[in-house]
Amino acid sequence: MLAVAVIAGILFVWSLLAHRLSRWSITAPIAMIGAGVALTAGSDPPLHFDFDTKAFEHAVEVVLALLLFVDAVEVPLSVIRRDRGLFVRLLGIALPLTLGAAFAVGYLFFPAQPLWLLAVLATVVVPLDLAPTASVVRDRRIPGRLREVLNVEGGLNDGILSPVFLLCITLGVEAHGTHTDYVDALLTAVVASAWALATGVVVGGTSGWLLGRSWRHGWTRPTAVRLGVFAVPVAAYTLSGAVGGNGFVASFVAGVSFAPAMRHLPETAVEMTDDLVTLLSLALWFVFGQIVNEVFGGDVPVAVVLYGLVAVVLVRLVPVLLSLTGTDIGFADRLFLGWMGPRGVTSIVFGALAVVELPARQAEFISPAMVMTVLASIVLHGLSAEPIARRYARRNPRKPSNDR
């Protein structure tokens, strides 16, 4: 309970000073990390979290499930229809190339590690999370089209990568079994994804239709609608798990299936779920502070530091530049889309789940690489956000400064 009180207090203090702190690029995630590092450091810290428990595993899974649902629900279909060619390139070409680049860089720096472990690492360091640089997608100095494309890509990116990550974990666990059967592991993952797809479509589609009908006929109220929306990803996640499906995939698919109903619901329908996701994500950033302490409490190999830097600077940038060649997006704008790919909550969740599921030796390899990648992203993307916005402001002097 002390941890909850401390996290709440830090969040409240940040809320009092949010605008002033934003001038120095101190976002809520950065504030929570700093507090987490300070309060979990030392041999006898004021706070300590036990990561080797089922409760922690389920907690981080729920955070990601809710995040995937909200991302899917809030994806504007009009933007997808308008720029569907760009999204095909970003998600169908750039994303696989980014995974391949992360895998290749991992092999370059860690040639002694098994290939399946490098595949797990690639899925951990690739997902996007715009929360650490949320001001970018609200800053009107940056062209609206670029902000919308980045926002939509970020929402779809995690949903696509979740089953890939879980497949790599399944193959990794199978590799340490008494009888290694990758075909059986692959079939198990495919069956789990199929169950998840069916569960997500049924739960999301049916819930959206029922809530929309209830709202149109005046049978419910906005507060009740918000509660109903929150129940959808929880139901999809738990029901999918009960039938042997993938809860992450089910939550994301439920969001995609529910999204069409949003036009028949009040504008505030998803606000409660969105706020809860933000709150839980900030708590996870605080916990990340302890992970940072544990990683830097030992020796961090130079190869891990270099991998984190390359993963942030080049692994996404080059594939995006290549995939958008020949489009109407200018080179400077392609450079922006390729560079602005911050890592955050999804990488932390994937890394935490990998640590829980994999043997200790492999877990000790994944955790430092995840920490270095996320920290490098927070520093580099956070510091570059304001200069990039000023550069766009000089290019478009008539545009309003920002709406932060």
Nearest to 67 by CA among 286, 279, 343: 279
This model's pTM is above 0.85: yes
CATH, range 51-395: 1.20.1530.20
Give me the amino acid identity at 189.
A
Nearest to 213 by CA among 265, 272, 256, 266: 265
pLDDT value for 402: 47
Determine how many CB atoms are found less than 10 A away from the CB of residue 8: 12
pLDDT value for 403: 47
Q: What is the pLDDT of residues 362-376, one digit of tens each?
A: 888 999 999 999 999
Pure H helices in 217-316: 222-242, 247-258, 271-296, 302-313
pLDDT value for 248: 87
pLDDT value for 245: 85
3-class secondary structure, 142 = coil
Polymer length of the chain: 404
pLDDT value for 185: 67
pLDDT in tens, the chain (404 residues): 677 787 788 778 878 877 777 667 677 788 888 888 988 888 888 888 887 777 788 888 888 899 999 988 988 778 888 888 999 999 999 999 999 999 999 999 999 999 989 999 999 999 998 877 777 777 888 998 898 898 889 888 888 898 899 888 887 776 665 455 567 767 777 888 889 999 999 999 999 999 999 999 999 999 999 999 999 999 999 999 899 888 888 999 999 999 999 988 998 999 999 999 988 888 899 999 999 998 988 788 999 999 999 999 999 999 999 999 999 999 999 999 999 989 989 999 999 999 888 888 888 899 999 999 999 998 898 888 888 888 888 887 654 444 44
**Residue 280 token pair:** 């839980």
Q: How many helices, marked H, and strands, marked E, lie in the chain?
A: 17, 0
Exposure b/e, 24-47, CB count within 10 A at least 16 = b: ebbbbbbbbbbbbbebbbeeeeeb
Angle made by CA atoms 319, 323, 324, in degrees to the nearest 5: 120
Q: What is the pLDDT of residues 99-115, one digit of tens each?
A: 999 999 999 999 999 99
Rounded to 10 degrees, what is the CA torsion of 74, 79, 81, 85?
Answer: -120
